[in-house]
Structure 1
Amino acid sequence: MSGSPGPIVVVGASAAGLSTAEGLRRGGYTGALTLVGDEPHHPYDRPPLSKQLLSGAWGVDRLALRPPHALEALGLDLRLGSAAVALDTRRREVALTDGTRIGYRHLVVATGAHARRLPGTGELTGVHTLRTLEDALELRTALRPGSRLAIVGSGFVGAEAGSVARELGCDVTMVTDVAVPLADSLGAELGAMLAEVHRENGVRIEPGVLVRDVLHDGAGRATGVRLADDRTVAADAVLVGIGARPATDWLEGSGVPLGNGVLCDATLHAGDGVWAAGDVACWTHPVTGEPTRVEHRTNASEAGLAVARNILAGPQGATPFAPVPYVWSDQYDLKIQIYGATRGADSVRIVEGSTATRKLVALYGKGGRVCGVAGVNMVRAVRSWRAAVVAAEPSDTAGTAPTATAGSVS
């Protein structure tokens, strides 16, 4: 590292932001390093919010990404509970809600994404999203035996929360605008299998219908949802799981290129000393050439490390970011794992196991090449197919035998 790239400001104190800070320190950067977070908490892990924390199996203390002494060792100027509200790229300053302004030479945007909400529900009580620690704790208080939960949307968060709610003895109805829940992510065959598992565990699924509005009483508390066909679903709590939008509002008017997130080149650089990592980053994928944004925990950590390396390497040494995304989901006794990109695949082929046994590995293809692999209750086996995703093998012939053993893929 020649010279100092600092001072460096990282906005976003979750997995991507913390990973960036750690990568910078490991890479030898000793200069001023500020980590800004809008929540008052030290960096914590988000996937357990809809699983272990929601069920009560974990306490809040188990969510911490690092113990206090490890954070202290990083030598950070830690600004928690004060969100970034504006960016001046000419002066290279970030403005916070507490009125302070922080100067930088390099800025890393790691602000993640905000849960999408149903219009007109902002003032209602009993309508939940599941993105933050407070969200999970608030929803957990509503999941009592016999209480009724209506889930709007059938993505992984809603499916995980639904499985937890059933295990806690709640009455659960899932409303989705697609014909088969999770089919957009896993394909119709695997989606139908998962839907059947939910039904067997007592979840009522209302497929192929939109929610028109949330019903409420005179005190402004949700009492259920009205569907587009005028049917109603009574509920004591409503969970909205209809996706997320990149947290870029504070960057409007800054000159930072925005679209489906912060628009970056293949090295995660957005120009003028601004970088992005995690859910908020939309970068040009060096393999596909397509704008890519990934909302996965492992991608956030990997992107943070990539940004740190590229800042320290300088313009001539920066390298493209080409990860193999990984995501997992726990639903009842099923462990679902995905490597690569399964959404948008034009072919799906089960290469090990079957939906009948609910133990399987499926390969996903796009344009004749393997683009992703998903496994259900076959942890070691699905990992052995990761190499087929990396190599983008021909999707019509891949699958006759694994391209690597589980122990040989990093």
Structure 2
Amino acid sequence: MAGPVVIAGAGQGGLQAAISLRQAGFDGPVTLIGSEPGLPYQRPPLSKAYLKDGDADALALRPQSFFETKDVTYLPETTVTRIDRDAGRVEVTGPAGDSALPYENLVLATGTRNMRPPIEGLEHACDLRTLADARTLRGRLDAPRRIAVIGGGFIGLEFAAVAVKQGHEVAVIEAAPRLMARAVSPLMSNRFATLHRDWGAELFLGQPAVSVDEAGVTLADGTRVPADFVLLAAGVQPNVELAEDAGLETANGIRVDTRLRTSDPAISALGDCASFPDPRTGRHVRLESVQAATDHARLIAARIAGDDPDGPDYAAVPWFWSDQGDRKLQIAGFAGGPDTTDEAVTENVVARFDEHGLAAVETINAARVHMKVRRMLASADPIELSLLEELAAA
């Protein structure tokens, strides 16, 4: 029998690692450790569908029977407190107290946590990261309110769109000069700024929040944004402390190689906490994406189950999505370089190019174009703007 695998983190990436290990024929012990109560669940719907319907059961990724039939030990409400690399074990604390678990392979799927910017009075703000956070927020949406959202990224805008549709007054405060600045082109930022204003949200761009109190938010220029409650959605930071304490290399995440191994080959990292070489450019990147986490998990599981030192490097095309109101923003590829140029193919399709060629394509309500572009990016053939224009017009 193969040696034990311990997976620290029970989000979609961590669970997918357990699933993929069994699918690949791995017959050793598998232990999945999660810090939250209950079964592993989907996070993306927390800012969208769950706020509307409150159906927590629909979020579960696998039923309890999965863990029994696949012989996966699942430890909820449990935290890995230390990695003992010399002994090949992790120390954990949970409902049963403190204990140690041996591993032959350790997978770090520790994810991220909400960033806490230097804003006075954040104890008055709500978070939206966990199911417990979403339950609290949903309870506060039971009557019309004035809501201030600090952060104009995916989570903040998804929440804002839901809240406006439910009849609330919503103000979105973004320190950057445009919405979703880290994720999308200026063209797409402007498109969504227009949409959110048309839906009824008020936008405050280029002015960071400096303080929060029970009556609202104060901006750097002195502007007061009144609010009955405030949602903090100002980004996330990777959970790397466990890796750092164990002496693993970190830099904007837990640094891994092309096969997602850390500086200790017995330890892998995946998902939002992992900094890995971009297959197109070779630059280390960190992607906050469910699909990247599950793709990472599949490769790590195949490597562990097959123990093939010459197996394939990670090469999946990244893709992202965000549902805001009745618009589905989809991004195929990743444009993270400093020299990116943008071309509007149509009002709802934007192509992003860098020194290596086409880096990413952003679409709104254009699933057919998105899927075709993903297949095109996965090939080695160059993609010209004229080809995208033909595709968008078809």
Shorter-normalised TM range? over 0.9
The aligned residue for residue 280 of structure 1 is: 273
The aligned residue for residue 107 of structure 1 is: 106
The aligned residue for residue 61 of structure 2 is: 65
The one-letter code of the counterpart of 2:187 is E
The aligned residue for residue 357 of structure 1 is: none
The aligned residue for residue 156 of structure 1 is: 154
1:21 aligns with 2:9: no
The aligned residue for residue 232 of structure 2 is: 240
The aligned residue for residue 6 of structure 1 is: 3
Q: Are the aligned partners of 1:183 and 1:190 in contact in 2 as well (CA < 8 Å)?
A: no
The aligned residue for residue 79 of structure 2 is: 83
- Between 112-121 and 376-385, the greater mean CA deviation after superposition: 112-121
Mapped partners of 1:84, 1:170: distance in 2: 40
The aligned residue for residue 306 of structure 1 is: 299
Residue 272 of structure 1 deviates from its aligned partner by: 3.8
The one-letter code of the counterpart of 2:390 is A
Task: Pick closer, same or farther for the CA change 1:258–1:315 going to 2, 3 Å.
Answer: farther
Residue 223 of structure 1 deviates from its aligned partner by: 2.5
The aligned residue for residue 167 of structure 1 is: 165
Matches within 5 A, 1:368-407: 369-390=357-378, 391=380, 393-394=382-383, 396=385, 398-402=387-391
Residue 51 of structure 1 deviates from its aligned partner by: 0.4
The aligned residue for residue 179 of structure 2 is: 181
Q: Are the aligned partners of 1:363 and 1:395 in contact in 2 as well (CA < 8 Å)?
A: no
The one-letter code of the counterpart of 1:60 is A
Task: Pick closer, same or farther for the CA change 1:402–1:325 going to 2, 3 Å.
Answer: same
Q: Secondary structure at the match of 2:254?
A: strand
Q: Are the aligned partners of 1:369 and 1:392 in contact in 2 as well (CA < 8 Å)?
A: no
Matches within 5 A, 1:194-213: 194-213=192-211
1:53 aligns with 2:50: yes
- Gap regions ≥5 residues in structure 2: none
Give CA deviations for 1:189-236 in whole Å, capped at 9, x if unaligned. 221111111111110001111111212xxxxxx321111111111112
Residue 400 of structure 1 deviates from its aligned partner by: 4.5
1:341 aligns with 2:341: no
CA RMSD for the aligned pairs? 2.0
Q: Are the aligned partners of 1:144 and 1:169 in contact in 2 as well (CA < 8 Å)?
A: no
Task: Pick closer, same or farther for the CA change 1:184–1:110 going to 2, 3 Å.
Answer: closer
Give CA deviations for 1:127-172 in whole Å, capped at 9, x if unaligned. 1221111111111112233211111111011000000111111110
Q: Which residue among 248, 270, 284 is the counterpart of 1:256?
A: 248
Percent identity over the alignment is 32
Matches within 5 A, 1:215-226: 215=213, 222-226=214-218
Q: Secondary structure at the match of 2:143?
A: coil
1:266 aligns with 2:250: no
Q: Secondary structure at the match of 2:123?
A: coil
Give CA deviations for 1:238-265 in whole Å, capped at 9, x if unaligned. 1111111111222332111122111110
Mapped partners of 2:206, 2:237: distance in 1: 23
Give CA deviations for 1:84-133 in whole Å, capped at 9, x if unaligned. 111111111111123111110100001111111234668724x1221111
Task: Pick closer, same or farther for the CA change 1:113–1:42 going to 2, 3 Å.
Answer: same
Q: Secondary structure at the match of 2:388?
A: coil
Task: Pick closer, same or farther for the CA change 1:346–1:123 going to 2, 3 Å.
Answer: closer
Q: Secondary structure at the match of 2:215?
A: strand
Mapped partners of 2:179, 2:29: distance in 1: 47
Q: Are the aligned partners of 1:298 and 1:326 in contact in 2 as well (CA < 8 Å)?
A: yes
Task: Pick closer, same or farther for the CA change 1:120–1:152 going to 2, 3 Å.
Answer: closer
Mapped partners of 1:45, 1:285: distance in 2: 25
The one-letter code of the counterpart of 1:346 is T
The one-letter code of the counterpart of 1:349 is E
Aligned residues: 387
The normalised TM-score by structure 1 is 0.89
Q: Secondary structure at the match of 1:30?
A: coil
Mapped partners of 1:122, 1:254: distance in 2: 34
The aligned residue for residue 92 of structure 1 is: 88
Q: Are the aligned partners of 1:150 and 1:235 in contact in 2 as well (CA < 8 Å)?
A: yes
The aligned residue for residue 126 of structure 2 is: 128
Q: Secondary structure at the match of 2:81?
A: strand
Q: Which residue among 317, 320, 329 is the counterpart of 1:324?
A: 317
The one-letter code of the counterpart of 1:242 is A
Mapped partners of 2:145, 2:130: distance in 1: 22
- Gap regions ≥5 residues in structure 1: 216-221, 355-359, 406-410
The one-letter code of the counterpart of 2:289 is H
The one-letter code of the counterpart of 2:10 is A
Task: Pick closer, same or farther for the CA change 1:122–1:74 going to 2, 3 Å.
Answer: farther
Task: Pick closer, same or farther for the CA change 1:273–1:122 going to 2, 3 Å.
Answer: farther
Q: Are the aligned partners of 1:310 and 1:317 in contact in 2 as well (CA < 8 Å)?
A: no
Residue 398 of structure 1 deviates from its aligned partner by: 4.4
Residue 328 of structure 1 deviates from its aligned partner by: 1.3
